Structure 1
Amino acid sequence: MTWVTIGRLEDIPVRGARCVNTPEGRIAVFRTADNEVFAMEDSCPHKRGPLSQGIVHGKSVTCPLHNWVISLESGAAQGADSGQVRTISVRNDNGTLLLELTELRVAAE
């Protein structure tokens, strides 16, 4: 596993997101109201809207384009919508955030 430091928890607003550019694409890193951190591709499965610009609520994010709700835990579209966003492992080590980039390389091959 290759864990890469991407910043600090306080760099991400509560119920917000920041993005990390990787060779395999743009990853959105989300922070919930409970300070949980999740990471996934920054692209809604519906119309490729930027999930990082969506509204974080509970453990979900609502796409800013057409209001699809995506689970931050699984990447699955919720309700009557269907689709999947690739999630990436992220770790909070005493406020330092680390992203598991090996997963990206394997998935891109």
Structure 2
Amino acid sequence: MTTIAISVDAGWKEICAVDDIPVLGSRLVKAERGGDIAIFRNAENEVFALHDKCPHKQGPLSQGIVHGRQVTCPLHSWKIELDSGNAVAPDVGCTKSFEVKVEGGKVLLKV
């Protein structure tokens, strides 16, 4: 996990190069307000962005294990869908997801 700081403004913000996010890993974006955002990259090089808090006990999802299109929270092993932020059944809950895209090898976050 790597931490970077951004300002929260309307529009898209360049976060990093997609290659700066380890495969099956994450990068943490420090927001001025609203909480940190975890940027994930899976084995298929898809990129996702979630609020860095598990809906269960607020565990740091950025420190979780990425597998497929899910991340497992490091605190209590809840599985969270990377595209929606929804907990996988039988668990119930949701963390906020954010729009993210890759253009020209750069990761852009909608803020």
3-state SS, counterpart of residue 108 of structure 2: strand
Summarize the alignment of residues 68-87 of structure 1 with structure 2, pairs less than 5 Å apart. 68-87=78-97
Unaligned runs of 5+ in 2: 1-9
Structure 2 match to 1:15: 24
Deviation >2 Å, runs of 4+: none
Unaligned runs of 5+ in 1: 102-109
TM-score by length of 1: 0.90
Query: How much is the aligned-residue C-alpha RMSD, in angstroms?
Result: 0.8
Of Structure 1 and Structure 2, the greater helix share is in: 1
3-state SS, counterpart of residue 36 of structure 2: strand
Using the TM superposition, give the Cα deviation of residue 94 of structure 1 relative to its aligned residue in structure 2, in angstroms.
Answer: 1.9
Give % identity: 52
Summarize the alignment of residues 1-109 of structure 1 with structure 2, pairs less than 5 Å apart. 2-23=11-32, 24-101=34-111
Equivalent residues, number:
101
Supply the distance in 1 between the matched residues of 2:108 and 2:29 (Cα, whole angstroms).
11
Task: String of CA shifts for 1:37-68, please: whole Å, max 9, x gaps.
Answer: 00010000001000000000000000000000
